[in-house]
């Protein structure tokens, strides 16, 4: 019964706050896709931290669209010599991840 009550409370909170739902979905995608192999939220690995990405794109028009394209298609030369390969994500998943990454501060 506790699990059901918690689940209902979490569902209610997510429906009242779409930002929380986005964060939960995006973090789940981040963990499930290849992102964690090269990126951390708060420090560099093979690729830049998501906080650094958010800083670089802060205030730029179309940043989420640009970043979603880089996630889906890959990129090279933006953060140094190591290229980011294309990722097996849908357009919607790439958009969700991009919007979440841009929220990391």
Q: Count other Cβ atoms within 10 Å, centred on residue 21.
A: 15
Tokens of 104: 């990391």
pLDDT in tens, 76-95: 999 999 999 999 999 999 99
Tokens of 6: 């918690």
Interatomic CA distance for residues 48 and 70, integer angstroms: 13
What is the pTM (predicted TM-score) of this model? Answer: 0.76
In the predicted structure, residue 19 carries a pLDDT above the cut 60: no
């Amino acid at each position: 019964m506790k699990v059901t009550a918690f689940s209902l409370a979490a569902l209610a909170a997510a429906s009242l706050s779409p930002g929380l739902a986005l964060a939960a979905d995006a973090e789940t995608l981040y963990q499930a896709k290849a992102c964690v192999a090269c990126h951390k939220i708060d420090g560099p690995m093979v690729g830049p931290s998501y906080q650094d990405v958010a800083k670089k794109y802060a205030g730029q028009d179309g940043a989420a669209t640009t970043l979603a394209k880089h996630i889906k298609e890959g990129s090279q030369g933006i953060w140094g010599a190591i290229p980011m390969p294309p990722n097996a994500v849908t357009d919607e998943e790439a958009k969700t991840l991009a919007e979440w990454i841009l929220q990391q501060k």
